[in-house]
Structure formats: structure tokens, C-alpha cells
Structure 1
Amino acid sequence: MEKGSVPVATENIFGSVVHFSRLDSLLDMCRANSLWPMTFGLACCAIEMMATGASRFDLARFGAEVFRPSPRQSDVMIVSGTINKKMAPAVQILYDQMPEPKWVIAMGNCAISGGPFVYEGQYGVVEGVGKLFPVDVFIPGCPPRPEALIEGILKLEEKLTGTRRWPVVTPPGLPGPAAAQAARMQEEAQAPPAPAGDAAGDGGAPVSASGGATGEDKAGKEAGGHTS
């Protein structure tokens, strides 16, 4: 029986009056448009998270401005900062208290991998929140800008619904990322191979920053000319 192309939450069968509704798709669409992050900050990345919720960036446009003070009322945890090993049990408890379904955004290098606090012999920092529980979206930066957090929320919405709320817009006159990469690869493929002597000048002599032979090379040639 042939099936038709239909909206996200429904499915039609041609030649039949049967109309199926996929409830999970409908619920995911509703969840993506009403994410409730938890009021939870650990370090300097939390300052950028606060700025994202303020009026300049207006996180309410994306339906994710309702920061809840309780994990039992939240479905998104934004881990914004360094997790030390004394704080890790508290973070785990907060995650466990969040009802399903729930998602985690690792905001900043410290939340992703421990950031600059990871070195040989360090003993107090968890090297990424992924060691505690699963992470859905990673936002690199130290700290990430509010625009990066908004992009991470859009990525989470795209993960839930399969579609992006707004497409990525390329500024006029600039090629998109895929086009720019294709053009660069084409230029590299068409570029002639560099001669072997270019890197060291004529005859393998060392080359200065100005492109000529170095003083030692010139002196050697002059000395060789006098002796010969």
C-alpha cells in the first residue's frame, strides 16, 4: 500500500480513509518549542548563559527562556563550567532528579573535556561531563558567546524534530561553508606542484625571508670564487 508525503506528526495512506497520528513526533515537536533549562551554573560560562537569557539576545524567541529553579521541572541541563570531583556527586543528583525525557548541553571547554585545568597529575577536575552522563550537544569555547549557546539550542531542537527552525544564512557575497570548502579543494587540486628547489633557493642554498640567499651563502660563494 503506497504511502504519501505528509507533515511531521501525521501520515496519510492514499486510497483510504484511515489517518494515522504519530504521537511521538507530535510530542517531540512540542518539546522542542518549549525547552525548560535548569537554573544551573558552575563557572564563567554561566555568565554567558545569563546574558543569553537577557533582553539583548532574547532566548524567548526559541521557546527556551523558562529557566526553572528545580530539576524536577526541567528537561534540559546546561552544564556551563568546570566540574570538580567534589561537585560531581551534586551534578549527578540533579541529573537523576530530572524527569524523562531530558537532554544535556555541555557549554564550554571545561564542561566538554576539563579545559585548561587538565594536565598530567591533576586530581581535582572531572575531564568532561560526558564521564558522568550522556551529552546531547557540545558547545566549544572559553567561554562560548551567547550566539553559540543559541546555536546549541537550535541543534538540540533539530535533534528532536529532524528539522532546523531557521536555515543557516550566508552573508551576501560570501560562499557558504560547503561551497568554500569545495572551491578550496578545487584550487589545491589544480595548483601545479612546487619545484623541489623553491624551498631552498637555487642549488639548495638557504633562503632568507626576502627571498634571496643568506649572507653566509654569499660569503661562501665569494670565497670559493677567490680560491678558484
Structure 2
Amino acid sequence: MLDIKDIHSGYGDIRILRGINLSLSQGEFVGLWGHNGMGKSTLMRTILGYLTATAGSISFEGQDITGMATFRRAQLGIGLVPQGRAIFPHLSVLDNLRMGAVSFSQDRDETVSSVLKHFPRLNAYLDRPGGLLSGGEQQLLALARCLCGKPKLMLLDEPTEGIQPSIISEMVDTLHRIRESTGLTLLLVEQNQAFIGSLADRVLTMQKGVLVNESSTRDFLNNTHAFASA
């Protein structure tokens, strides 16, 4: 589904990504692990087009999207749940979800209702401003809003930051159910090793803008201390 070849990217003259090669198959959940400042979020932003690749190529479902506008990538089926959630705090939960389904004006309410079946906790808060939800509930809202855009590939950036354990467990169960029902593909950036281990089929480790290791989830969890010192 996603094929990244020798991607370089950064911010102005500051080069962050230094030759990233990465492929994801349809329906695969892949974890991307590493300490802060190693380039994980930069890779996410480059995949979605917020940052321009200075070298290399990105293909999505066989189509070269390297120079494609961000909104076109979203239309093709790439969705982002950003670090910090970035919900609309003054809009109601329902209106946040409707904003996520804005591309489907003909069946927007049907799309929202379909997504809400996976997020029963949110049904009690549909009229409440998003900013009044707890941090964990806001993260669930951000996930649900992204899914209202019907993504084929979801980019999920640091979703467990500051979130209570019960919500983390709920996110894991929800994402597994959604994969089973829709075939969703997931690229997960996370520092919570247990969370990666509960979701990912394999784990990539990034260090200083380079992917330095790929392992099965079992090996990743069994070698926690080795990876933590990377």
C-alpha cells in the first residue's frame, strides 16, 4: 500500500530524514519507535505532504504521491491523528466528527453514525464542546474524527501521551476491531513500548533520521532494554 524509497526531508537547511526506506502492506499495523527528536513525526509529515521530500519517492497504492498536495493525499485515503490531538475545542463532539466527514457531504451523518458504533463512550457527549472532554476522551475523538474521513492508511502520532490506562486499553481494542471490519492500515509513532507491542505486527526503530532496526513485536518486547538504549 505504501512504498517509501530513499526519502530525505527536513526543515529548511536542517536535514532530518536521511534516506528512509519503508513499505506497508494493506491491513498491516507497523510501529515506529524512537526517542524524541529522532525524526518520527517528520516522517509522518513528509508522508502526508506537510513537508516536502528533498530526495526519494513516496508511492501510495501504486501511485507516485511525492509531489502531490496534502489535500489530494487525504482524498486518496491517508489520514493523520496528530500529536496533541488538535481537535476543535469550541465545537461539539458531533460537529468535530462532521468536520472529519466533510468530504462526504451526501452521506455525512451516515458516515458519522457508522464511526460512532466503534466509540460508544463518545455517544454520551455529542453535544458537549470537545475542549471539555478529558484528555483520553479527546484522543478517542481525534481517532474517530480521522476515521470519519474513511482513511485506508492512518498515521497515528504519539496517541498515549498523557492518557489514562483505561483509555489506552480502549484504543487498542477499538483499533483491532476496526482493522478486522475495514482492513485499515496503521503506521503508529509511539514511545510507549507496551502500547506498540499490543498493536503492531512489526516495529521499526528510528535513530537520528535513519531506520536502524526492524523486528517482530515479540523480539521488540523481549529486547526492551536494548532498544531503549538505542
TM-score of the pair, normalised by structure 1: 0.28
Higher relative contact order (CA 8 A, sep 6+): 2
Which structure has the bigger radius of gyration? 1
Larger relative strand fraction: 2
